[in-house]
Structure 1
C-alpha cells in the first residue's frame, strides 16, 4: 500500500471518530458535554434497540424518552457527582421487553450518583451503570 492511500485512510478514520463527539459546550463547571445521547448499555447488558434517549441541558438537567414514556429531572450536583431531583415521567402503559427495559432504566437513573465523559462515552454511575453514546434514540 502506498503512503497516500494510508494517509487518506488515517484522515478519514480521524474525521469519522471526531463526528462521534458531541459538538455542544459542556455543562458549566464540568467536562460533560450537553446535548443528545442514546443508551447503549445498562449494567453489563447492551441495549441494541437504541430506543432510550437522554438530552443534557446547559443547566445540567436531563430529559428524554424511554421506550414508552418521556421523562425529565433537574440535576443539582457538580460533576463528577450526580444528584437528580424528582424524576418526572409520563404514565403510558409499557409491557413486555420495552416495559422491563424502561423499568430497569428508571430505577438505575434514580439511584445514580456519578457522571463521567471519557473517550466519547457518557457513563452515569450508581449501583447499575448506564452507558451512553452521543446521538439520538431510534424511533
Structure 2
C-alpha cells in the first residue's frame, strides 16, 4: 500500500488558481488514479444573471481547510491531496476552487475528491457575495 496519505497543500489565497499545480502535486509514483474537481464562477444562480462575485474568508479558514483535508486523507484510501480555494473578487469564468486527489485506483480517488469538496463547502468558513446583473447582491453560506 505504501506510505500514508499526505496533504501536499491546502490553501486559501487571493491569487489565481492552477489546475496544473494541483495535478502535479498529487502525481506520485504510487498514484494510479487522480480525480479533479474544478469550481468556476458561473454567469447565473438559478435564473438570475451573475456579473461577478467576491469570496471572503474567516481568519480560521486556512486552518479549517487544512483540517478538512487532513481528515479526508486519514479516512480515505488515498495517497495525496492538494486543494486551493480562492478569495477576493472574481469574474465569471475564473477558478474558485481546485481539488486534486491521487489514489492507487480511480474509485478511491473519485470518492475522496467528492467527500473533500463537500466537506470544504460544509465546514470551511468562506462566504460568497454574488453580484447580479440588476445590481442586487446576495451572500451565500459557507462554500
The reply to whether TM is greater than 0.5 is no
TM-score under structure 1 normalisation?
A: 0.31
Higher strand proportion (structure 1 or 2): 2
TM-score, normalised to structure 2's length?
Answer: 0.30
